[in-house]
């Protein structure tokens, strides 16, 4: 299933956050969204996921939702959003419990996503027993369990230390390489964007407009830390954003 944004704008009262955003999100690709602070990246994701109704324009779903998809749009947040009294298995099962699945099928799905996210040995652990990286793996496993048509990822690695972030980027690339999924990935970290994105959408300062779309052809599995090609893309992105990022930060300080 492809997603198309056609002239999407959004305002909160008199504050215009997004203006005339048109964009295609192709099936099986990771599209990263970057831009200055306050440019509307998270609002973009909320509009895309149906949590906000756009002030103008349309969000269109093109093509068929996969037959075994239980939830077309699934969010992954930076704060993990785990229930502290449920085990890893229990947190993953939460998203399946309203779908009237046979017990055997539900357990099979859970076992599969725990294996894919390297959590099988921690199925009975509580969130307080897990590291930050492992908690985010649980959140990813929970999203994968419903086989979403599109995963909406709102700065999912920003709360983690740099080493854990690198490891989870490796994990996401391995997951995508095994079974390509569609994702819209909001981040302020340009290194993440060039490592994970098949394309990178640069939004202007508020109101957010599409300033440029950068396409990266290098296969995800061949991208690594310190890659000169990725560093060149990162410098280009920062060149697009630097002046507006400074202006946006100054504006936020004066609010």
CA distance 33 to 213: 9
Q: Rounded to whole angstroms, how far apart are CA atoms 1 and 27?
A: 5
Contacts of 252 (CB under 8 A, 6+ apart): 37, 38
pTM above 0.85, yes or no: yes
Q: What pLDDT is recorded for position 251? A: 62
C-alpha distances (whole Å) from 71 to each of 111, 149, 153 are: 19, 7, 15
- pLDDT for 218: 94
pLDDT of amino acid 250? 62
Rounded mean pLDDT for each run of 10 residues along the chain, 255 residues in total: 94 94 95 93 93 94 84 88 95 92 93 94 96 92 92 90 89 91 94 96 94 94 88 93 73 56
CA 114 vs CA 40, 66, 99, 120, 190: distances in Å: 33, 21, 19, 5, 29
d(CA 167, CA 154): 18
Contact 77, 154 (CB under 8 A): yes
Q: Report the alpha-carbon distance of residue 194 to residue 157 in Å, rounded.
A: 14
């Amino acid at each position: 299933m492809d997603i198309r944004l056609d002239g999407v704008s959004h305002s909160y009262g008199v504050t215009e956050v997004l203006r005339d955003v048109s964009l295609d999100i192709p099936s099986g690709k990771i599209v990263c969204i970057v831009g200055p602070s306050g440019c509307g990246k998270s609002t973009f994701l909320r509009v895309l996921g149906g949590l906000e109704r756009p002030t103008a324009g349309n969000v269109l779903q093109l093509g068929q939702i996969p037959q075994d998809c239980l939830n077309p749009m699934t969010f992954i947040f930076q704060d993990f959003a785990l229930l502290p009294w449920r085990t890893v298995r229990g947190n993953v099962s939460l998203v399946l419990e309203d779908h009237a699945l046979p017990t055997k099928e539900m357990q099979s799905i859970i076992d599969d996503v725990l294996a894919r996210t390297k959590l099988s040995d921690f199925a009975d652990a509580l969130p307080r027993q897990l590291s930050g990286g492992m908690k985010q793996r649980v959140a990813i496993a929970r999203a994968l369990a419903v086989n979403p048509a599109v995963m909406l990822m709102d700065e999912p690695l920003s709360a983690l230390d740099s080493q854990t972030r690198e490891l989870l980027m490796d994990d996401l690339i391995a997951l995508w390489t095994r079974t390509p999924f569609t994702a819209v990935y909001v981040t302020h970290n340009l290194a993440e964007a060039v490592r994970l994105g098949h394309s990178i959408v640069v939004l202007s300062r508020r109101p957010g407009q599409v300033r440029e779309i950068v396409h990266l052809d290098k296969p995800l599995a061949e991208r690594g830390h310190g890659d000169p090609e990725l560093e060149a893309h990162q410098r280009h992105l920062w060149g697009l954003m630097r002046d507006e990022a400074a202006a946006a930060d100054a504006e936020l300080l004066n609010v």
